[in-house]
Structure 1
Amino acid sequence: MLLSTPIAAMRQPVSDGATRPRSWRLEQLDRLERAIAERRDAVLKALASDLGKPPVEAYFELVAVQQEIQLVRSRLRRWMAPRAVGLPVFLQPGRAEVIREPLGCVLVIGPWNYPFLLSLQPLVSALAAGNTVVLKPSEHAPATSALIADLIDAAFPTTTVQVVQGDGPVAQALLQERFDHIFFTGGERVGRLVMEAAARHLTPVTLELGGKSPAVVLRDADLEVSARRLVWGKCLNAGQTCIAPDYLLVDEAVETPLIERLGERISQCFGDDPLASADLGCLVNQAQFERLHALLEGARSRGQVLFGGQSDASRRRIAPTLIQVDNLDDPLMHEELFGPLLPVLRVNDLNEAIERINQRPKPLALYLFSKQRDAQQQILERTSSGGVCFNDVVMHVSVPDLPFGGVGNSGMGNYHGEAGFRTFSHERSVLRRPFRLDVPFRYPPYAGKLPLVRRLLG
């Protein structure tokens, strides 16, 4: 049986109002926090097993979930409070407000690249909003999936949270159920399938997808700092990060010195033999390795490899590699790379960079390295993306109060902090009226009342 507790039974405590009190929500956060604390070392081992994550990178996932719990706990009273809304004169006396109430039973489908963080972070938001949750971790990170199942089973009754493990057909079967919201993190192709399945029940969805996130480097940028940050962001989790810089658009005046600094920085981080480095993760499975390796070998055959290019199929590792690309038709520019290959495209100026960005679907993230405030403003006014970060990469996702999400092909909806609480809440409009002062002009017969209506309503 797919679900040990039916969806209807999980929805019942929400319908009965049992999950509405702040005390219930805080108790769920406490349960989750305790269960994580008891398994911290196990989390690091699972992430090393699935993705070869260095302990420091794996620890980022733990810390981010803990920070989300702490933020929600400190802000929950304020987020839950009714929000008063002003009334027009003709509705006074009265009181209007917006209350945020739970949606019901929601489905969270997690990805494989940050399998712990990106499964549990939306779970925190869903529980804080008073929902019950079915959680489907990715089968491509089996050790982490099993750990999450053990953690949730120990922390919650199945009427509150239950984990369903399995592959694509299991996910498809889950999507046949009627949930009150579906939160999916993954690729665009599967995102379309999720949205199609949700449409059958008119279930709202949040889609955290991806895309080719560009990084623009202008001639006034600090090249040393830019190279350091670009290499870190590109090589984090072996490039398997949805907001990693996917390709560079480099001002022709600094292309050569930037490439030199990028190469130097790669060597400083991972040594002369990056494939032997304990600080570089591995690709999640053989299929991902073979896809990227084919792109790498194609670039090598065309003489495009500028730096790196080593690979080891037995360990599913590819060294950080810089690749010269001349146009957007190059095979490396067709889809999100999701690996340690970094195409470098030369541009004349910011205008050309913006033109190239706008020739592609809207990305999940966009990066600009420049000291010019005018250049930053042009990026904001002439492009569209899920998020923007100036003179750094990836770090905007670490700001607790910044909503995180995509736009267009990179996703819909957002979460983190209050944005996550709102995603999993229904904002219900409430108007309270007394029985006194029931003015008669709104009731038929209407004869002779139009002049009064005009004076009152304008």
Structure 2
Amino acid sequence: MAVARFTVEVPETLEYTSLDTIEDSVSVVRNNYITGRPRNMYWRKFQLHRLHQLVKDHEEKFYEALAKDMGKSRHEALMGDISPLLEECLYFLDNIEKLAKDEKVQPRQITNRFDQCIIRKDPLGVVLILGCWNYPVQLPLVPLAGAIAAGNAAIIKLSETAVHTSALITKLFPKYMDISCYRIVNGGVPETTALLEYKFDHIFYTGSSTVAKIIMTAAAKHLTPVTLELGGKSPAVITADANIKTVANRVAFGKFFNTGQSCVGVDYVLIPKNKLEPFVDALRKTITDWFGANPKESKDYGRIVSVRHFDRIMDLLDRRQSGSIVIGGDTDREARYIAPTVVTNVSFNDPGLMTEEIFGPILPIVTYNELEDAVAMIKRQEPPLTVYVFANKKEDQRKVIDYLPSGGVCVNDTLMQFAEFSLPFGGVGNSGLGKYHGKRSYELFTHERSMLIKKQRFEFLMRARYPPYSAHTLKLLRASLLSSSLTTNRIIYKRGIKNTFIFFLVILFFYIRKRLL
């Protein structure tokens, strides 16, 4: 069933949800989940199709809204917001039946050998999705697609900062989606605080670690599991053999895409001292080629989302006690404009640029002598969401990957690990908790329900487990619960046996070869 298209204007304001209606929204969604409607397979597919069409039918309006909120170009809006949602909906429509299928597993115990062991994929229930402003379409609605596919109901809290995009989603949502099972709540701290008072079966949050701690505290009152997609200072480690021109392009893409407002953006660069000047020259050329002599006039360069965030970024730059601005530095507070800015010779312990995630178009560059020195510096910080490493030698790649914990890794490129939805995405430690995208989104919003299905027969085989116990029943229990000595020895020593066998084969080979010669 297709939804009739209609014209809609991008709203200029975002109306906050009344605090008095939040309890009613949660109650309605919960009651409709109990009816089982969101679990119906046809229903899931239908709602995923509607979610896809919500954006597809009004794609131009979303481009307009994203441009108003952050100055996003069509290209960046397509890559960062539109295509991820459309493709995720199509993925679930194409794979949902396979994902939802019961999984049969082979019983390990002898007493269960003729019975069924099944892992069933049940929805969690009613989930709360707290979106973020830097990708205001993708970050709330991609998790929603996973929640719908898994058979859940949901409350979605949109970003109050990306006003135009959130207002557009809010206006379209009831025209496409069933608001008895999925509802939107808009607002700031009071509305979010009110939402967290209620029990949900899962909370999915994208944002800062500071707010994440508040959410975890609220969730703990109800023993609600959480997924936290956060951020951190994701470094780009450049090694001596890297192609400077290529690396400059890819680092610039990872830093200045979405005006640096990406949780997986390159936060800072570590580069050998003797490569600093060539790299800066290459960056300067890249920035000029992409955005012209004055990036403020470029249609492809965006803006900071709000004055508050502009001030926060500028405070980091002003508080620095090291480094020199060698590219950019121009700003316009009223226009929320910060030019692509590069700061060289920054101390790794700088109290401004190196204390927290920058989340803006300022790139500090730290130099090092040996690759081991760079790895040691990064290890002093909390694990980042992503480690970027630019190296042609696999040995150098491994030095960085093996010794630096992180949510993910991208070698010789930036941002693409986030865009590849076949890979699970998420952080570790301060950079996040839990992973999603594609199949992992389905698993995230699913309870794997273990089921053992037995028949009412062979009761005589169960006699050993019932009292009164005896030496004879103990022998029977040991025989059924523990592997035999032969099996135990095979498992423990099979590697040694395998190596011995290979050794004798090698000896036999050389012996035969010698005889033939």
Fold similarity call, TM over 0.5 = yes
Out of 434, 437, 447, the residue aligned to residue 470 of structure 2 is 447
- Listed one character per residue, the Cα deviations across residues 408-440 of structure 1 (whole Å, up to 9, x for unaligned) are 000100110011011111110000001111221
Residue 258 in 1 paired to residue 293 in 2? Answer: no
Partner of 1:363: 384
- Listed one character per residue, the Cα deviations across residues 54-73 of structure 1 (whole Å, up to 9, x for unaligned) are 11111221111101111111
Per the TM alignment, residue 21 of structure 1 is displaced from its structure 2 partner at its CA by 2.9
1:97-136 correspondence to structure 2 within 5 Å: 97-136=118-157
The separation in 2 between residues aligned to 1:312 and 1:190, in whole angstroms, is: 29
The separation in 2 between residues aligned to 1:327 and 1:391, in whole angstroms, is: 23
Per the TM alignment, residue 298 of structure 1 is displaced from its structure 2 partner at its CA by 4.4
Per the TM alignment, residue 20 of structure 1 is displaced from its structure 2 partner at its CA by 2.3
Residue 456 in 1 paired to residue 486 in 2? Answer: no
Partner of 2:218: 197
Partner of 1:79: 99
Partner of 1:64: 84
Partner of 1:181: 202
Partner of 2:331: 311
- Listed one character per residue, the Cα deviations across residues 427-457 of structure 1 (whole Å, up to 9, x for unaligned) are 1000000111122111111123112222222
Partner of 1:48: 67
- Contact 2:136/2:159, CA 8 A, preserved across alignment: yes
- Contact 2:128/2:154, CA 8 A, preserved across alignment: yes
Per the TM alignment, residue 19 of structure 1 is displaced from its structure 2 partner at its CA by 2.5
Per the TM alignment, residue 4 of structure 1 is displaced from its structure 2 partner at its CA by 7.5
The separation in 1 between residues aligned to 2:226 and 2:456, in whole angstroms, is: 40
1:280-319 correspondence to structure 2 within 5 Å: 280-299=301-320, 304-319=324-339
Residue 334 in 1 paired to residue 355 in 2? Answer: yes
Per the TM alignment, residue 381 of structure 1 is displaced from its structure 2 partner at its CA by 1.5
**Secondary structure in 2 aligned to 1:111?**
coil
**Secondary structure in 1 aligned to 2:302?**
coil
Residue 397 in 1 paired to residue 418 in 2? Answer: yes
Aligned residue type for 2:337: R
- Contact 1:5/1:158, CA 8 A, preserved across alignment: no
Per the TM alignment, residue 295 of structure 1 is displaced from its structure 2 partner at its CA by 2.9
- Contact 1:71/1:400, CA 8 A, preserved across alignment: no
Partner of 1:22: 41
Per the TM alignment, residue 303 of structure 1 is displaced from its structure 2 partner at its CA by 5.8
- Contact 1:219/1:251, CA 8 A, preserved across alignment: yes
Q: Cα–Cα, structure 1 residues 193 and 4, in superposed 2: closer, same or farther, change >3 Å?
A: closer
The separation in 2 between residues aligned to 1:455 and 1:89, in whole angstroms, is: 9
Aligned residue type for 2:231: G
The separation in 2 between residues aligned to 1:25 and 1:432, in whole angstroms, is: 28
**Secondary structure in 1 aligned to 2:39?**
coil
- Listed one character per residue, the Cα deviations across residues 77-109 of structure 1 (whole Å, up to 9, x for unaligned) are 111011111112122220101111111111101
The separation in 2 between residues aligned to 1:96 and 1:17, in whole angstroms, is: 25
- Contact 1:218/1:349, CA 8 A, preserved across alignment: no
- Contact 2:156/2:183, CA 8 A, preserved across alignment: yes
The separation in 2 between residues aligned to 1:298 and 1:107, in whole angstroms, is: 37
Partner of 1:37: 56
- Contact 2:322/2:350, CA 8 A, preserved across alignment: no
- Listed one character per residue, the Cα deviations across residues 97-125 of structure 1 (whole Å, up to 9, x for unaligned) are 11111111111010011111111100100
Residue 3 in 1 paired to residue 22 in 2? Answer: yes
Instruction: Kindly name which structure, 1 or 2, has the bigger radius of gyration based on alpha carbons.
Output: 2
Aligned residue type for 2:255: K
Aligned residue type for 1:314: E
- Contact 2:270/2:365, CA 8 A, preserved across alignment: yes
- Listed one character per residue, the Cα deviations across residues 205-224 of structure 1 (whole Å, up to 9, x for unaligned) are 00000000000000111111
The separation in 2 between residues aligned to 1:354 and 1:198, in whole angstroms, is: 36
The separation in 1 between residues aligned to 2:387 and 2:210, in whole angstroms, is: 22
Structure 1: 5+ residue stretches without partners: none
- Contact 2:242/2:391, CA 8 A, preserved across alignment: yes
- Contact 2:272/2:367, CA 8 A, preserved across alignment: yes
Residue 213 in 1 paired to residue 234 in 2? Answer: yes
Partner of 1:410: 431
- Contact 2:52/2:89, CA 8 A, preserved across alignment: yes
Aligned residue pairs, count: 457
Q: Once structures 1 and 2 are overlaid, which stretch shifts more, 379-388 or 9-18?
A: 9-18
Residue 384 in 1 paired to residue 408 in 2? Answer: no
The separation in 2 between residues aligned to 1:92 and 1:445, in whole angstroms, is: 25
Per the TM alignment, residue 268 of structure 1 is displaced from its structure 2 partner at its CA by 1.1
Q: Once structures 1 and 2 are overlaid, which stretch shifts more, 242-251 or 323-332?
A: 323-332
The separation in 2 between residues aligned to 1:335 and 1:234, in whole angstroms, is: 15
The separation in 2 between residues aligned to 1:171 and 1:309, in whole angstroms, is: 36
Q: Larger relative contact order (C-alpha < 8 A, sep ≥ 6)?
A: 1
Aligned residue type for 1:140: T
Q: How high is the sequence identity, in percent, across the aligned residues?
A: 39
**Secondary structure in 1 aligned to 2:167?**
helix
Q: Cα–Cα, structure 1 residues 414 and 66, in superposed 2: closer, same or farther, change >3 Å?
A: same
Per the TM alignment, residue 127 of structure 1 is displaced from its structure 2 partner at its CA by 0.3
Aligned residue type for 2:464: F
Aligned residue type for 2:359: F
Aligned residue type for 1:441: A
Q: Once structures 1 and 2 are overlaid, which stretch shifts more, 322-331 or 103-112?
A: 322-331
Q: Cα–Cα, structure 1 residues 152 and 369, in superposed 2: closer, same or farther, change >3 Å?
A: same
Per the TM alignment, residue 358 of structure 1 is displaced from its structure 2 partner at its CA by 0.6
**Secondary structure in 2 aligned to 1:3?**
helix
The separation in 2 between residues aligned to 1:444 and 1:259, in whole angstroms, is: 79
- Contact 1:275/1:310, CA 8 A, preserved across alignment: no
Aligned residue type for 2:309: Q
Q: Cα–Cα, structure 1 residues 451 and 302, in superposed 2: closer, same or farther, change >3 Å?
A: closer
- Contact 2:237/2:374, CA 8 A, preserved across alignment: yes
The separation in 2 between residues aligned to 1:242 and 1:148, in whole angstroms, is: 22
Q: Cα–Cα, structure 1 residues 442 and 4, in superposed 2: closer, same or farther, change >3 Å?
A: closer
Q: Cα–Cα, structure 1 residues 330 and 347, in superposed 2: closer, same or farther, change >3 Å?
A: farther
The separation in 1 between residues aligned to 2:22 and 2:316, in whole angstroms, is: 41
